[in-house]
Chain A
Amino acid sequence: MTVLDVLPDAATAAVLDESSKREVRRAILTAIAIPGYQVPFGSREMPVARGWGSGGLQLTLAIVGQSDIVKVYDQGEDGGVNAANLRRLIRQSEGVNTTTDPREATVIQTRHRVPEDTLQSGQTLVLQVPVPEPLRGVERDMHELRRMHAEGDYSKMWVSLYEDLVRNGVITKTTGYPCLVGGRYVVATTPIPRWDVPPLHQAEFLSLFGAGREKRIYAIPPHTDVEPLTFDDVPFQVEEVSTPCRCGLVVPDGDRQSYQVELPQQDGSSIWACSDTDWCSRQRVGAGLLDPATLTETEVEL
């Protein structure tokens, strides 16, 4: 008989042991209490490689219970390889139900997108974060970075934005746009596109950011200001999405479109597709452009 034999099953069945989950939950509570502050945590090694969602995975595993319904998607796609892999792992490890519909999910783990649907109170968005430090582009020394955050000294970041504007005519920062959270800490909004930044401001839902490799957790609680860093006379710009999606969906003028990805063709032209595949499918079904019967057969595996 070994020691493992005398332990309850629960202690050995999961990907992450129970005391580690509790440790992650403590870090989450600290993160919620201090919006935007990067809380160090003893990130464990997961069955997926670091850089492949190990931080988001630890957050999800730590917060889900039997009654949760989990959505996992990557680059807006539920069917993507990494999303499918993480979803399978979470379901096998925790025995939770999964969905692709963000409206019915209680926990949504995502890589680099915020759902096009407006999320509600009680929902939690878990974002996988490759680089949690928003100031790394302007400062590498971790002692100095700690001081800058502690003193709210973001002058180097402001200078960098100003130089960018002067050199290039526009602010060229692309994804992971730096934002001031709750008027106090600047955060990296993972690499979500700028398109996804406005929904984080004064949101109804909780956003949790997990960086497994860099061992940091931070949070944007509901009803918190999220202000993209920019100048009074230079409005924050989201990505332009003017071309209609290949799905044929036409969103009325004035309504929010959806973020699109480009699909370059052999002849040099491009067509466009909605990045959020579940949102796109539902809109098309609603508009009578798509027969739902052709889609549902995949639900069991996903």
Chain B
Amino acid sequence: MGYVAAKGGFDAIRAAEDLVANTRLEGKSSWLDLDQIIDRLGYAVDRVMGEGGLWDETTAARAFRQAEGDVIESAHLVRAHRSTLPRFGTTDAVDVDEIDVMRRIVPAFREPPGPQLLGRTLDYTGRLLDTPDEDDARRSALEAAAARAEQPAVDVTEATSDVRVPGRLLDVLRQMDLAVDRRSNDDPEPADIARVPARPGAPRSAVLSTMARAESGALVALWYRNILGPDRNLHEVTLGEVRHGRLPVRVQHPLIDEQVEIGNVRVTEVEAIEDLDGPDEDRTKFDVGYGLTFGHNERKAIAMANLDIALTRADAGSFLEQSILMTTDGLDSSGFLEHLKLPHYVTFRSMVERKTVERKTDERPSTEAVAS
């Protein structure tokens, strides 16, 4: 054992942990249950699942509660949890056309094949702050739940068979010969960005995976930078598909060697149609970008689909690919930003030393001496 002049670090950490625990575990209000978080704070739970790269509402809710509502911190907890889990295998690829939609809008056509299904959305809710009497609100919520429980269940099986699994607009564009065909077989197995770092030159599947678990705000900011900022990789995008629905999850059964469905995940899926206007592009056609992320997060999926098509169109030498791959991960950017709070005594001393030495060297004819 060596000698230690100060154990202040350890004591300080423990004191900080106590302060955290005081609020997190005790607090002044009643205990916050996981089902409440999943039920009432769904957008936050969905963001955590998307940015955490793990589908599990309970785990996400647990992380969100532990992180006291900090979404990036929650995503970190989920991803660090993932790192401890061994991998058993991968799911079989699923055809996204199997999506069972709860919401689907097609901004490009008034009456597209399949439904315009508004579904559950905040889009048209008045942005006015509700200020009900808390007791009244709680009572009417209970009454509404009780009333719903007494009603017979609505039979939705008939509607589910066709309307809930619509065709996709890209197929319509292809039939109209309006879409550039970029289908290829050069990226057959999706890249696993948890195992192979996605760097410029990475296949499209790696770029899409990176965006699917990117920080939502980072994608929105990068998108907006292309609209108003110095990056100009977007021209005029119209959305073809905005969907929120369920996709089945299937695996090969390890014993009977057959495909079995083990559940489903909710996703938001977006197709962004770009009006091609580049000098080398086919002006008679459109091209389409794709976005998909866990849970209900339309902002993120729309930004992702836009950036996907922007990247396809970006000039050689553009920094867009590097920006998407290297700067949109919430854990990376936040972690590095926050690391500035760590001690930098050693490095800062080295900087001060160079300034001192530089001044000594500066004792040569200066501009001041020349002026006088």
Contact = CB atoms under 8 A, between A and B. Distances in A.
Q: Determine if chain A interacts with chain B.
A: yes
Interface of A: 3, 7, 11-12, 14-20, 23, 40-47, 49-52, 54, 71, 74-85, 88, 99-102, 104, 111-113, 130, 140-143, 168-170, 172-175, 191-195, 213, 215, 237, 239-240, 259-262, 275, 277-278, 280-282, 285, 290, 292, 295-296, 298-299, 301-302
Given A45-B80, A52-B335, A12 B346 contact: no
A219 B86 CA distance: 28
A110 B199 CA distance: 27
Given A19-B87, A76-B346, A240-B353, A100 B1 contact: yes
Contact of A191 (B88, B335, B347): B347
Which of A49, A239, A290 is the most central at the interface, judged by chain B CB atoms within 10 Å of its CB?
A49
A46 B83 contact: yes
Contacts of A11: 86
28 contacts: A3-B88, A12-B85, A14-B84, A17-B85, A42-B192, A50-B332, A50-B336, A74-B342, A75-B343, A75-B344, A76-B346, A77-B343, A84-B9, A84-B13, A99-B2, A100-B2, A111-B342, A140-B319, A143-B200, A168-B361, A169-B362, A175-B351, A191-B346, A237-B357, A259-B346, A260-B349, A277-B5, A302-B7
A77 B347 CA distance: 14
Nearest to B334: A49
A100 B195 CA distance: 34
B346 A175 contact: yes
B331 A299 contact: no
Instruction: Name B's interface SS.
Output: helix
Interface of B: 1-10, 12-13, 76, 79-80, 82-88, 192, 194-197, 199-201, 317, 319, 322, 326, 331-332, 334-339, 342-347, 349-354, 356-358, 361-362, 364
A28 B343 CA distance: 28
Contacts of B194: 42, 44
B339 A52 contact: yes
B198 to A, nearest CB: 9
A281 B353 CA distance: 25
A79 B8 contact: yes
Given A143-B201, A172-B358, A239 B353 contact: yes
Chain A binding surface, main DSSP class: loop
Contacts of B195: 23, 42
Given A49-B331, A170-B357, 4 more contacts: A23-B195, A77-B9, A88-B10, A277-B6
A209 to B, nearest CB: 16
B320 to A, nearest CB: 12
A52 to B, nearest CB: 5
Contacts of B199: 40, 142
A215 B339 contact: no
Contacts of A81: 9, 12-13, 343
Q: Which of A76, A81, A82 has the most CB of B within 10 A?
A: A81
Contact of A45 (B1, B9, B82): B82
Contacts of B200: 142-143
Nearest to B72: A49
Top 9 closest pairs, chain A to chain B, by CB = A101-B2, A51-B339, A50-B335, A169-B361, A100-B2, A281-B3, A45-B79, A49-B335, A215-B197
A78 B347 contact: no
Contacts of B3: 100-101, 278, 281-282, 285, 290, 292, 295-296
Contact of A79 (B5, B84, B357): B5
A169 B358 contact: yes
A49 B76 contact: yes
Given A16-B84, A112-B347, A261-B345, A99 B1 contact: yes
